[in-house]
Structure 1
Amino acid sequence: MSTPELVATCWTSAGDVAPLDVPEVSPFPIEERVRAIADAGWVGIGLGQDDLRHVRDTIGFAALRSLIDDVGLRHVEVELASGWWRSDLKWRGTWELLLDASTQLKAEFIKIGAAIETPLDDITPLVEPLRRLADEAAAVGARVALEPLPFGLVGTIPKGAELIRAVAHPAAGLLVDYWHVFRADTTLPELVASLDAGIVFGVELSDAATDISGTLFEDTIHNRRLIGRGDQDVEGFIRAMREVGFDGPWGVEIISAEHRQRSLVDALTAAHDSTLETFARAES
């Protein structure tokens, strides 16, 4: 097997900042982050909405895209849009920021979520809103990748696949994060049966202890481990996504109190190298 292409998703390189911090802005200058990601062997970068606002208001998206090109990164992801199913327009500001960032940075997709709420049994109310969102994205050459969350309206990957197939739009697909596979108690055979390569826009690798610490949300933002350093079957997940037909690049999402205390170089090196070691075991 060839060496997998790995993307440092936004939290993997963000440093001492966590989801729902106000603001969610990395303490590392964006230029330092981009160069460190490239130097550590990654092929791509992910950036969250507050970092993107900071970039827009300082060096600008054009300068960031130029830097990304200069260091040789080939893959960009932007996140996170939520609230898109609501009738109020409070979510539009972030959505329009992400559309602009996606266009100027030539992002592969815009990651979207579906709130911290009780999962829906019937996803029908989300079909038309998501189709409209995909229409808006397609109009500027962008795509949206929905990330199901066990504590969100779309609670499992199979339910997310059901929604994407109902939307039936080429600009709408799934982001399959392994954390939200095992924490939703979705088995790997169930995962494979629910997916096909055409609806999977991105995959993220995570690892963790068997037991949940605190709430599901607290666990997901404080306790992820380096790939292959936890108790989850990451190797089996890699093989399962290969069976589905996914051919990368693979995002790596390390969100934890421990990871936030690492230096930028140490964080990126540890996350990259541990992931490659896991791929070697998965493909041996």
Structure 2
Amino acid sequence: MSEKLHAANWTHAGDIRPEPGRLASPLPLRDRIEAGARAGFIGMGFIFDDITSALHQHSATELRAMLADNGIEQVELEALADWFVVGADPCTDALRLAEAVGATRVKAIGAFEGDVQPEDMIDGFARACDRFAGIGANVVIELMKASNLNTLEKGLAVVTGAGRANGGLLIDSMHVVRCGISLDAIAAMPSGALLAIELDGVPEGPPDPDIWADMVDHRLQPDEGSFDNAALVRAARAAGFNGPWGVEIVARAHRALPLDEAVRRSAAAMRAVLART
């Protein structure tokens, strides 16, 4: 039986460089969904802004049918921010959008400024998980070098402290390398803590000194670069994770590709990696 594949948002978002306040894809949602299906993905991710825009053109029923008709079983929305801020309510609008498309997962991000400690985020994460549990969606925190949750230990402190079955971590190849997370540590994660994974190729040599450019301009396909993604898959399996296997390519070269070529290349690279495991 072939492995199930998930295409994270930037893998099929087209020619759009992630910038604060400028995240929506220039491509029609239907085109992206159909391209993902043709490449063999059963899961796809989208930015909240993409769903907001799509709801101006389609009803929620039409969006769900668009996904179902193309065999997209898993829908991820990103990125939930400020869930840890006392008095903030980022979940209400996000929940509305997640319900509209039948989202199965919401990607959350940590703090990018200020002195926010992991222990101060536990209650907020528990509340966010409870909000999305009602629609059967997981909430996953993506560890990032640029955020306050930049080590495996910090991320685990939040998700284990919250103690919610639908709450866990998302690990991404680039961030594994940039955050200095060992594969042994991933393999030893508590059962149920690892709920999502994204593979991408990490370029050889030192990182771009501009941390944002390093994140969004240089990633390679999962079967390229200096990092052993097959070993990461094996470590994830040891931690109890067994797919769907995600791919997230945020890179200048990838953005320049036509949509179908971009998603086909990423799907082929994922299959090449999984074949080595």
**TM-score normalised according to structure 1 size:** 0.91
User: CA distance change for structure 1 residues 230 and 118 in 2, over 3 Å: closer, same or farther?
Assistant: farther
Q: Deviations over 1:41-97 (max 9, x none)?
A: 1111110111111112221332111011111121111111111112353x63xx333
Partner residue of 2:97? 101
In the alignment, which of 98, 113, 117 is matched to residue 117 of structure 1? Answer: 113
Q: Which segment drifts farther, 259-268 or 70-79?
A: 70-79
Aligned partners of 1:99 and 1:142 also within 8 Å:
no
Partner residue of 2:162? 167
Partner residue of 1:198? 192
Counterparts of 1:32-111 in structure 2 under 5 Å? 32-89=31-88, 92=90, 95-111=91-107
1:18 deviates by 2.1
Q: Which segment drifts farther, 244-253 or 134-143?
A: 134-143
Partner residue of 1:188? 183
Q: Tell me, what secondary structure is at the counterpart of 1:251? A: strand
CA distance in 2, matches of 1:265, 1:104: 26
CA distance in 1, matches of 2:191, 2:258: 36
Aligned partners of 1:14 and 1:26 also within 8 Å:
yes
Partner residue of 2:27? 28
Q: Tell me, what secondary structure is at the counterpart of 1:57? A: coil
Gaps of 5+ in 1: none
1:217 deviates by 2.3
Residue 263 of structure 1 aligns with an amino acid whose one-letter code is: P
Q: Deviations over 1:155-194 (max 9, x none)?
A: 122321121111112232111222211110111112222x
1:151 deviates by 1.4
Gaps of 5+ in 2: none
Aligned partners of 1:137 and 1:143 also within 8 Å:
yes
1:119 deviates by 7.8
Q: Tell me, what secondary structure is at the counterpart of 2:202? A: coil
CA distance in 1, matches of 2:12, 2:255: 9
Count of aligned pairs between the two proteins:
276
1:21 deviates by 5.2
CA distance in 1, matches of 2:195, 2:60: 23
Q: Tell me, what secondary structure is at the counterpart of 1:262? A: coil
In the alignment, which of 127, 134, 153 is matched to residue 132 of structure 1? Answer: 127
Q: Tell me, what secondary structure is at the counterpart of 1:198? A: coil
Partner residue of 1:247? 242
CA distance in 2, matches of 1:34, 1:49: 15
Q: Deviations over 1:227-256 (max 9, x none)?
A: 111111111101111111211001100000
Aligned partners of 1:110 and 1:143 also within 8 Å:
yes
1:272 deviates by 0.7
Percent identical among aligned pairs is: 28
Partner residue of 1:218? 213
CA distance in 1, matches of 2:142, 2:217: 19
Aligned partners of 1:116 and 1:153 also within 8 Å:
yes
1:196 deviates by 2.9
Q: Deviations over 1:204-225 (max 9, x none)?
A: 1121113201322211111110
- 1:258 maps to 2:253: yes
